[in-house]
Structure 1
Amino acid sequence: MSSFSFDLIAHDPDTRARVGRFQTPHGVINTPMFMPVGTRATVKGVTPAQLREIGAEVVLANTYHLFLRPGADIVREAGGLHRFMGWDRPILTDSGGFQVFSLADTLKLTDDGVEFRSIVDGARHFWTPEDNMAVQEALGADIIMQLDQCPPYPAEKPMVAEAVRRSAAWAARCKTAHSREDQALFGIVQGGVFDDLRAESVARCTEIGFPGYGIGGYSVGEPHDLMLESLAPVASALPADRPRYLMGVGNPTTMLEAIGLGVDLFDCVLPTRTARTGTAFSSEGRMNLKNARYTRDHGPIDPACSCPVCATYTRSYVRHLVTTKEMLGSTLLSIHNLHVLIDLARSARVAIEEGRYSAFLEQWRNGPGHDDY
């Protein structure tokens, strides 16, 4: 693991927020950081050059989808994900476990592994933790995630307890099976919204020991306040010298609240998925560009935004693209929405370094857009 290091360079005096530098074989990730999701080895509608322009330092890809198409062997033959998708900065692959367990009506689960049906051709596949590690090693991302069991919300406590136990057992097997020194394998904390199960999962996961930790099982339907209440003790209990990754969160308000609790990394499809519906993030909340009020509005999407879209295009033009279903409309809104989250994380880093994150967060809470997220 000599290719990896995580150095904490600033702490906010009034919150648990911190600034770090996570060194990987393909460059540094400055934390806190939002990571765009490129499920099938592409961030929908956005090129690698455009991602670099808006400050993206790391992108995600999905093991489940790439396992089905084009296949891990094809990605390996291409030289790994970095060459395959033309991205020379860090990449993280999730295990695909969330996707597998979202297909609950088609899977068969045992302690040995999980059997699931392909959404492509209906074929049945079986993954053990060892199989999953082999797939992620073939894909070749810098950061990879253990195979875990992600229970839904709501779920009965015995079911969540079983997921904690099984995920911990699989974490140990993933660590034993993983062999690439140029990859950092992260463990994942589960436990739903049950504080005692979250604490048990943290203890089990940290006992095994990983260079970083994912916090899973959130953003699956639980109330926002309950999530933050449950997240606080988890984040504080994880090792301070390792990056903490809150999986599947891209709501600006939730991201900023979680940064205040000591979380470092975030990802979500929300900014690009909402872009494809004609929705823009802004300092005043979400904007539906399909709205007729923007027909003759020749100002930028958000006057407070410094992204290349706001510097070049108007609300009127983007509305025209969206209402006529032109591809460029989704691309421009995706670039803008991703920039909003990446720049928000950058602003959070500055506030932490200057010792004013508490005031920064309070300003966001009281801002005009807070209630829209």
Structure 2
Amino acid sequence: MSKYFEIECSKNGLRVGKLVLDDLQLTTPLLVHSGRVNHYLLPKQVWETNTRALYYDPVIFAEKLGEKQLRDLPNLRQLFAWKGALFTTSGADEIAKLAKPRGYKANGVNFRLPKEGQLISLSPQDSLQLQEQLGADISEQLYRAVDYYSPIDDLTAGVALTNQWTASDSNSLFPVTGGGLKALHRKSIASLGGSRLFGYRITQTEQIDTVAEVKRNLLTVIKMLPSESLRVTKVKASLEQVIAALLVGVDVIYSDVAVHEAVTGNALVANGKRLNFDHARFANDWGVIDPNCGCSVCTSNYSRAFLHYLAKTDSPQYLNLILEHNLFWLNQFIIKFRSQIN
């Protein structure tokens, strides 16, 4: 695969870049949505929301399918006929829930999938091959996942093992670990011996509780990274945390915010407000979700009253329509954010 990243302009610590993956060109900052969207919408519908990139966790995907072995997973691009970019995680966070402490070894990790799966021994190289099997355009190296708020001894041990696992593959994302401790971040990055990679994944961000801490930690790590490399992180399913990552100069942000808001019944509108049409006040509201939105839900003139009806009758169409709107709205939000940097 031919891929490269370059910064096209920058302003006050923020930047707009070009991420080229074979014939597909993406503009950063980029919000990469969870592959969960394919559970509710057809891939064609997802594409029509201007979504151009999805991310998957291979271990969670295997659990959803009830697989007993990771090697049985299909190529996601073929499965969903997806023509956009595909980002994958190493599965490290989910593995941490499945593996026993003694399962972590110098050469990889041993764990079992649910459904009485056989023991899986996953090496750092196996992890990269698995992500390639799934059809990933951007993959990440395996790391020892430790909770952000763990004691310093646990965080230190996590960094030490992750450093042992460092792969020679310079095209995959290098995982920067260490909780919120600057010294451990520096130790994590130092394991590369001065090598500059294609990109870095700042881990553990999705475990942080407050927006202020998200900003502080991301900014601390970013200052240690080569300016020309791709910066990637994953945040909670929260628009506020997405914005926090944007404001410190992250290039690629993984988040399940679109699905999360839809599942809770919320449609995103101007200024990040949420509308839940289950409320009685929408029963006779004939306006669309957002008159300034160009999504297919709003341009089809589906009224708030109609959405109220779907919500009150527990129609599955309610979640689908709200998700379609949220995806489009979030993608437009990112486009507007980029325009302020140019």
What TM-score do the two structures reach when normalised by structure 1? 0.83
In structure 2, the residue matched to 1:344 is 333
Partner of 1:301: 289
2:4 alignment partner AA: S
User: Does 2:159 correspond to 1:193?
Assistant: no
- Kindly indicate whether the alpha-carbon contact (under 8 Å) linking 1:37 and 1:60 is maintained by their aligned counterparts in 2: yes
Conservation of the 8 A alpha-carbon contact between 1:107 and 1:116: no
Q: Which residue number in structure 2 is paired with residue 100 of structure 1?
A: 95
Q: Residue deviations 1:110-165, cap 9 Å, x none?
A: 33322223134454322121221221122221111111122114211111111112
Residue among 25, 50, 60 paired with 1:65: 60
Partner SS state of residue 166, structure 2: helix
Distance apart, 1:187 and its partner CA: 0.9
- 1:31 equivalent in structure 2: 28
Could you tell me which of 184, 208, 227 is aligned with 1:240?
Answer: 227
Deviation (angstroms), 1:4 = 1.1
Partner of 1:6: 5
Residue number in structure 1 paired with 2:83: 88
Deviation at 1:95, TM superposition (A): 0.9
Aligned partner of 1:9: which letter?
Answer: E
Instruction: Tell me, yes or no, if structure 1 residue 44 matches structure 2 residue 33.
Output: no
Note the residue ranges of structure 2 that are not aligned, 5 or more in a row. Answer: none
* C-alpha displacement of 1:199: 2.6
Instruction: Judge conservation of contact 1:72–1:139 (CA < 8 Å) in 2.
Output: no
How far did residue 242 of structure 1 move? 1.6
Q: What is the DSSP-based 3-state SS (H/G/I as helix, E as strand, rest coil) of the residue aligned with 1:143?
A: coil
Contact 1:318 1:329 in 2 (8 A): yes
Alpha-carbon separation, structure 2, partners of 1:299 and 1:106 = 55
For 1:202, the equivalent position in structure 2 comes to: 189
- In structure 1, the gaps of 5 or more residues are 179-183, 354-373
Superposed, 1:1-373 pairs within 5 Å as 3-12=2-11, 15-39=12-36, 43-67=38-62, 69=65, 80-103=75-98, 108-172=103-167, 175=168, 184-205=171-192, 207-284=194-271, 285-312=273-300, 313-353=302-342
Give me the whole-angstrom Cα distance separating, in 1, the residues matched to 2:128 and 2:62. 12
Deviation of the 1:72 alpha carbon: 5.7
The one-character-per-residue Cα deviations of 1:203-252 (angstroms, maximum 9, x if unpaired) are 33573542111111112143221221111121232121121111234533
Q: In structure 1, what is the Cα distance between the partners aligned to 2:101 and 2:217?
A: 30
Structure 1 counterpart of 2:31, one-letter code = F
Code of the residue aligned with 1:17 in structure 2: it is L
How many Å separate the matches in 2 of 1:340 and 1:201? 36
Q: Percent identity?
A: 25
Task: Kindly state the Cα deviation for residue 26 of structure 1 after the two structures are TM-superposed.
Answer: 4.6
What is the rounded CA distance, in whole Å, between the counterparts of 2:114 and 2:190 in structure 1? 35
Secondary structure of the corresponding residue to residue 273 of structure 1 = helix
Q: Deviation digits for residues 289-308 of structure 1, max 9, x if unmatched?
A: 22222222221222333222
After superposition, the Cα gap between the structure-2 partners of 1:84 and 1:51, relative to the gap in structure 1 and judged at 3 Å, is same
- Asked if 2 retains the 8 angstrom alpha-carbon contact of 1:188 and 1:205, the reply is no
Higher mean C-alpha deviation, range 210-219 or range 101-110 = 101-110
> Which letter maps to 2:311?
V
Cα distance in structure 2, aligned partners of 1:140 and 1:73: 13
Which SS does the other structure have where 1:82 is aligned? helix
Tell me the matched-pair count: 337
Q: Residues 182-217 of structure 1, C-alpha deviation per residue, up to 9 Å, x if partnerless?
A: xx4111111111122223223335735421111111
